[in-house]
Amino acid sequence: MSWFTDLSIGRIFNYNSPLPSKALIQKLKSKTGEPKWTEADDPTRLFIGRITGNKFRLRRQMYIRKAFTPVFYGKITDSDSGSCLTARIVIHPVILIILSIWFLFFFSIAIIFIYYSGMDEAVDWLMVFPLLFMFLILLLFLIMAKSEIDSLHSDLDSLLTAE
């Protein structure tokens, strides 16, 4: 898969384990800390979040929380050969909504700027600069989001494949 086609804001994560579902849940719980608002997160834990029954909603443990910190949610079910973890890794929906509104607002301003600037005679490339700037910011957002999702994906692989 090429880098460009893999540049998505979400990823499906599937993992088949020979462990029974209860053991896999316990393994995930051993590396997950509870989210705390009043004190620092536990640095010995790999993830922060909640595991309730066979369902979970986690994020990577970070000293400085970023807006692009992906959320990992899904469930663990029993299968014929042990258990199956099925989850989705995404950027938090609130962040995506805020960014969409922000980009729509500035994109509208750029279009209005170009429309009312009088581009009748010749194309003035300075008038296209706001759109180019918006495209570069969007590309930067996608690269940062992909980097965070890849980091979470590799942390999960290392945790689940470790015996």
- Rounded CA gap, 119 and 104, in Å? 22
Question: How far is residue 48's CA from residue 63's CA, in Å, rounded to a whole number?
Answer: 11
| Angle of the 125-161 helix axis to the 21-30 helix axis, nearest 10 | 120
> Residue 127: what pLDDT?
64
Decide if pLDDT at 5 tops 60.
no
pTM beyond 0.75: the answer is: no
What is the DSSP pairing of strand 32-33 with strand 82-91?
unpaired
Number of domains in the chain: 1
pLDDT value, residue 55: 92
Tokens of 96: 């995506």
Report the range of poorest mean pLDDT among 54-58, 59-63, 89-93: 59-63
- Boundaries of domain holding 159: 1-163
In order of 14, 90, 126, 127, 152, the CA distances from 71 in angstroms are: 15, 5, 39, 38, 9
The CATH number that applies at residue 127 is 3.30.530
- d(CA 120, CA 113) in angstroms, rounded, equals 14
Cα–Cα distances in angstroms (integers) from residue 33 to residues 10, 19, 22, 24, 98, in the given order:
23, 22, 18, 16, 28
Bridge partners for 90 per DSSP: 10, 71
pLDDT band at 65 (very low <50, low <70, confident <90, very high): low
**Helix extents (H) in the chain:** 21-30, 93-115, 125-161
